[in-house]
Amino acid sequence: MRVGIGYDVHPLAAGRPLVLGGVRIDHPRGLDGHSDADVLTHAVIDAVLGAAGLGDIGALFPADDPKFKDASSLDMLATAIAELREAGYRVVNVDCTVIAQEPRLQAHLPKMKAQLANRIGTENVNIKGKSPEGLGALGQKAGIAAQAVATIEELEDPTARSR
């Protein structure tokens, strides 16, 4: 068993869709970034890659590479999971926290969990939404952050790597 942690933060900006955990959320501002800026999925990618010692999201998907402009973070996660499997691991569990003053996320959490679980290949995905209680830049609605912890294990069957 191995454990990795991930963190991501992006500023909120007008004219962008808000995507968290692969779910588009109705909100007047979205997250600004090179891809769709899905901080939750980015934190999961970093946690999974970190657990396997495979670097981080920036190494696999460079922000200066035009092919990742407005890319789906769920597609990026699928690529990271393929890399993980190729290295001989599978995800056992992922636990995440999204830190946002707004929007309230409770109603969206089941859809986010389903999207991430589908791409990761395990139902053991937990997502929590937390408020920064008005403190700091996140509390002033300047951005949204996410943290994730991933537990992985070696594949028992080496031929399962390519599946």
The structural domains of the chain, with segments of one domain joined by +, span 2-155
Mean pLDDT of 24-36: 96
Mean pLDDT of the chain: 95
162 pLDDT band, cuts 50/70/90, is low
> Which pLDDT tens digit goes with each residue over 85-111?
999 999 999 999 999 999 999 999 999
Mean pLDDT of 62-80: 93
- CA–CA separation, 21 vs 65, rounded Å? 22
Q: Give the CATH number of domain 2-155.
A: 3.30.1330.50
Phi, psi (5° rounding) for residue 41? -65, -35
Share of the chain above pLDDT 90, in %: 89
The 10 Å Cβ neighbour count of residue 156 is 8
The answer, yes or no, to whether residue 14 has pLDDT greater than 90, is: yes
- CA–CA separation, 130 vs 144, rounded Å? 10
160 pLDDT band, cuts 50/70/90, is low
70 pLDDT band, cuts 50/70/90, is confident
Class of residue 114 by CB neighbours under 10 A (exposed 0-12, middle 13-18, buried 19+): middle
